[in-house]
Structure 1
Amino acid sequence: FLDEVRNKARGEDVLNSVEPGEMLVKIVHDEIIALLGDNNEELHFKEDGITVIMLAGLQGTGKTTSVAKIARLCKNKWNRKPLLIAADVIRPAAIEQLQTLGKEVGCEVFTLGTEVNAVETVRQGMKYAEENGYDTVFIDTAGRLHIDEQLMQELKDINALVHPDEILLTVDAMTGQDIVNVASAFQEALPLTGLVVTKFDGDSRGGGVLSVRKITGVPVKFVGEGEKIDDMSPFYPDRMADRILGMGDIVSLVERAQEKMDMEEAERTAERMMNGQFTMDDMLSQFEQVQRLGPLSGILKMFPGFSQYSDMIDEVKATDAMKHTKAIIQSMTKKERRNPSAMRGSMKRRVAMGSGTTVQDVNRLINQYEKMKTAMEAVGNMQKNGSLNEETLNRMMNNLESGGGQQPVRRVKRKRYKF
């Protein structure tokens, strides 16, 4: 990779309007895309008949969860009718887990229990899918703590029986460069068509993802970026290159917002905010909408220039703070939510007790609400009279920063002593 960048950088003419550093970033960006694959590799669905997708992987890589997550994507995004076959008969908990996840995503799970072997389960599952009009079948296979001959033979037998259209290998991003070794071992036994990289939202930088396409030729098709059932998305090399270089990923953020947020509700709330009708109910709605987008650190990574701040966020503390905030608002009456500034001390004590917080927490939230309301009213007024521009916005943000979050410093009169 470095050799490619070095060779291209040496012979590149730098345009007058572009800094050499910017040119180098462009070269690195293009090489990362070339390394990851020029285009995103989508699932290939049959026009006629049943599309069979088999997932394989080591134990603990999130294989069973990935089956449900990708099935949900197929159902909601590509209008498919998926059936999930529980072929992991080694681990009884895997069947129960898949059944629970199947209910959550609205997909039927076919199982014959642990008494019937995996190959026979798949054979009867395929027959059931044909008889009941399913157009997509997901096969959740058994995992092992390490690669062994018994595991590989079972996967080979299933492959020989149904000839899957897609064979996806789930790998854990936290294992780093070991992804390449695992993918290479599975590729010797199976014709892999893609990788599903799980735990991509963790502390790992995902270095193995950079290498695996180049070394094995197997493209990354999906990345899991959280524990929720909708935290799975197709892999786009160009967007990942942007994220690696701290350029953000606004396109994915917009797509995620459109999928997970109630856009009509968000628009109504924004209009109320601009008109000075902002209440605690609107604030609660805003918090809930943001929570749907996923972990805060993951959202920050998608904003250009903010990726370096994502590591500073303690997700546990941020989640707890959000829970406390929601609990405070939900402990208020409708009247109090409309006008929290009019709350007396006894009301605040009642809300604090009901939400498991302190009166100071309640006061802090009310102050935060008042600042948000004032700022939104100011923006709305500027928009109405046509004075909304970058300069006025910057001035307003500076005022908020200087006065927001910190108490004003009081000047203390010093006593003068005569000696």
Structure 2
Amino acid sequence: MSHEFRVGVAGLGTVGASAVRMLARQDEQLFARLGRRVRVTAVSARNRSRDRGLDLAALTWFDDPVALARSGDIDCFVELIGGEDGPALEAVTAALEAGRHVVTANKALLARHGVKLAALAEKKGVSLAFEASVAGGIPIIKTLREALGGNTISRVYGILNGTCNYILSRMEAEGLSFEECLRDAQRMGYAEADPTFDIGGFDTAHKLSILTSLAFGTEIDAEAIYVEGISSISPIDIRMANELGYRIKLLGVAERTKTGIEQRVHPTMVPKSSAIAQVMGVTNAVTIDADAVRELTLVGPGAGGDATASAVVADICDLAAGKAGPPFGVPVAMLRKPERAKMRLHTGGYYVRLTAYDRPGAAASIVTRMAEADISLESIVQHRSEDAAQRDPSGRSGAPVPVVLITYATTEAAIRKAVDKVIGDGHVAEAPQVIRIERE
């Protein structure tokens, strides 16, 4: 084994710069642990003149990340460019083709091309490592791939996006609207100028697809994920959740069911007593349900330069130590084609908020529609308007008031059928809010 493990880093943003600094700072400790030097010898970025707080004078600069990936002067290529295609895909493919180990934090790339890239890595006898792609500094990839071999996993779920968790936490703590919290998140750098990828649930979906593959030994199937974001969550939903003993979180959930693997991303009500309900702000958390360990929850920073760089450096150290295994836990040929569970067959409890007209017969009609769909109600909460006798401009109905239903376990299909009937009856003033409940 060579006494130096040479690393090339493509992408010198917050994470890339932190990783370079971390490797330099930990040089002696890593040498003592690994028995060899781990050195960044080459880098690539779009802007060579930008001040990153790094001394790059001794490093070889590449304007083209693909050229860096193919360089014979590195042993490991670190991709921190981002994006599911373009330079990131070209560079990672080139590195693997050239027989270089690859470390990446790119969940979008893996969600779309992960299985193909893993097969290429196997063919070339090198490693594809991606601990930093999910949940930042939380070692969830290593946990699923290496630490739970004696377990059969039934479910993995978690808070995988710090932006959404920050917004929902602020809405609860300060009674602010979604729009106000989003503006604050953008001002503080927790949300992008275009926040759609985060608040729409797509970032969480990419991460969930990777966890699903590792947990259940299946090929990545990102297209099968049902996705809802958090933009429809209102202060009244936050208040009602609190009143009923729940807290709203955007969860990514992958679950083994009788009909196949169910993957879903959506706002979820979780009991306040649950471990995951305690996770606030930009923090991430992942819970694994398995037969031997039962429930295992990992909590930590899900983003940020140092936290994500910590995961990148952990992968580099494993490769330098010669610890290499199949990227998804088993050889690609053994990954099973996932059998998709239809989302509309999902069974669980639901929170349904209806903005119903406050008039005789409306509540009874709503309850009847639920019963017709074989939905049992655990509770009904109605907050009447200040003036129940107030009339709308037509003079035919009272003012809209929120009516909240909590159901016992039922199916997605039943809920949607009942809600459609309620809408058709003309008893609601706006689109109903439906939030799934994950019980302990």
TM-score range, shorter chain: 0.3 to 0.5
- Higher-Rg structure is 1
TM-score under structure 1 normalisation?
Answer: 0.35
